[in-house]
Each structure stands twice: as structure tokens, then as C-alpha cells.
């Protein structure tokens, strides 16, 4: 079974803090994605990566950056957390054969910024 | 622009059949995926349609009409455990998915 793990289920941070969200997958997938999920808005893509050291902006990249130094790990960074970044953050991975159509999600990190 | 529309809520009874529709407007369309998400859980992949027609996987089927920019997820023999949110997602050029807002399905006894 594909396993995607995220470093924390719940996180509380203060406005202005730098926040790191970590995601690790164990299936040697090339593609990895970061989404945020808010009620009534579905999942919105923040950043994605097709390979180590590669990154592409998604639909809402403002206020975020990412790092992919190793194939299995994809980190989301909030440079200076703000209250409007309070959300559920979901990481996903997919093999290149699926081209992103079948993604495997981690359990999510519920981030609260106060 | 790009947009997907699906109903926000659907209610059905156990044992019934329910259809969740999804219409989309996007450039660079490659296919339509469906995901299920239980409350507090992670989204899980259900199906993907790249070509027109019906794909069946057990009690779940998914349909796509590219000419109508329309698809649906059909759930048969509904069970209480099917109560969840269901998302359609367009696979866009470049490999990324654009998700709809989700349909909350409530299955009543």
C-alpha cells in the first residue's frame, strides 16, 4: 500500500512565524502535491513537483514556498504565517504513469494561525 | 477561466442509487477523476475517465461526455458507509488536478 505521511495532524502557530509542513511518501513516486482545503472551496493546489529540486506553482502559491531535496520528501513552507493561512493542508503523491490523475493523499495537517 | 460545478449536498436512502453530477469549464482537459473523503479523513481515489463512456468499479460507476463537458459518479446499492464528500477533479495539462467544491452525500436508513 502507498503510504503518505505528514509530520503533524494538528499545529498551532503564531502570526509571523515560519512554518514547515513535511510530507513523506514511500512509493518512489515522482509527482508530489500540496493542497489546502477550506469549507466550501474544495481542494486548491498550492505547489507541485515532478522531480527532485523541481517545483511548479499551483493556483494559490502566494505566501508559500516548497522544497524537494529528496524524491520521497516534499516540504511546504509558510514564510510568515498569517491568520488567513489557517486551513487543512493535504499532501499527495502520484506515479508518472498516472500523470497525476490518481493521487494518494496523506492524512492532512490542520494548521491554526493565531 | 477554469471552473467545476457539482451539487453541494445530496441525500439518499440505504439501498438506493444516487448520481452526483459534475460540469466543468477548462482549457487543456485531459480527463475527470473522482475522489471520496470521509469526515476527518484523507481523499481517496475512486475513478478516472479519459474517454467518453462509462467506467464501472463494483458499486461505483463514472461517466464522461467530453462534448458536453459533463460527468457523473453513480453509486448503487447505497450503504451507510457511503456517507462522505465526493469531489470531481479535472486533470489539466501539466498533470495537475483542479478540484470541484465537493458534494456531501448523506445516506439515511
- Per-residue pLDDT band for B2 (boundaries 50, 70, 90) equals confident
**Is B73 within 8 Å of B88 (Cβ atoms)?**
yes
List the Cα angle A14/A32/A37 in 5-degree steps: 45
| Residues within 8 A of A (CB atoms), B 51-80 only | none
- Percentage above 70 pLDDT, chain B: 98
For residue B64, give the DSSP letter: E
- Per-residue pLDDT band for A98 (boundaries 50, 70, 90) equals low
Distance from CA of A45 to the nearest CA of B (A): 7
Distance from CA of A35 to the nearest CA of B (A): 10
Q: Quick check: A96 pLDDT over 80?
A: no
d(CA A65, CA A61): 7
Arithmetic mean of pLDDT, B40-61: 94
| Residues within 8 A of A (CB atoms), B 77-96 only | 87, 89, 91, 94-96
Residue A51 CB coordination number (10 Å)? 12
Q: Buried b vs exposed e over B36-50: b needs ≥16 C-beta within 10 Å? A: bbeeeebbebbbbbb
pLDDT value at residue B26: 84
Subunit contact B98:A48, Cβ cutoff 8 A = no
Amino acid at each position: 500500500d502507498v503510504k503518505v505521511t505528514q509530520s503533524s495532524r494538528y499545529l498551532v502557530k503564531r502570526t509571523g512565524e515560519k512554518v514547515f509542513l513535511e510530507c513523506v511518501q514511500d512509493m518512489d513516486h515522482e509527482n508530489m502535491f500540496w493542497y489546502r482545503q477550506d469549507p466550501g472551496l474544495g481542494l486548491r493546489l498550492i505547489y507541485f513537483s515532478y522531480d527532485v529540486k523541481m517545483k511548479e506553482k499551483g493556483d494559490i502559491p502566494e505566501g508559500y514556498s516548497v522544497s524537494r531535496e529528496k524524491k520521497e520528501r516534499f516540504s511546504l513552507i509558510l514564510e510568515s504565517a498569517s491568520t488567513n493561512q489557517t486551513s487543512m493542508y493535504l499532501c499527495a503523491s502520484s506515479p508518472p504513469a498516472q500523470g497525476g490523475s490518481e493521487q494518494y493523499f496523506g492524512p492532512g495537517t490542520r494548521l491554526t494561525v493565531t | 477561466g477554469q471552473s467545476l460545478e457539482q451539487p453541494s449536498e445530496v441525500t439518499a436512502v440505504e439501498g438506493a442509487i444516487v448520481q452526483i453530477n459534475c460540469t466543468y469549464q477548462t482549457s487543456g482537459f485531459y480527463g475527470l477523476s473522482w475522489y471520496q473523503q470521509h469526515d476527518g479523513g484523507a481523499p481517496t481515489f475512486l475513478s478516472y475517465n479519459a474517454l467518453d463512456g462509462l467506467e464501472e468499479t463494483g458499486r461505483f460507476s463514472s461517466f464522461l461526455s467530453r462534448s458536453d463537458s459533463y460527468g457523473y459518479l453513480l453509486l448503487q446499492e447505497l450503504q451507510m458507509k457511503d456517507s462522505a464528500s465526493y469531489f470531481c477533479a479535472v486533470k489539466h495539462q501539466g498533470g495537475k488536478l483542479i478540484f470541484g467544491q465537493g458534494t456531501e452525500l448523506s445516506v439515511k436508513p
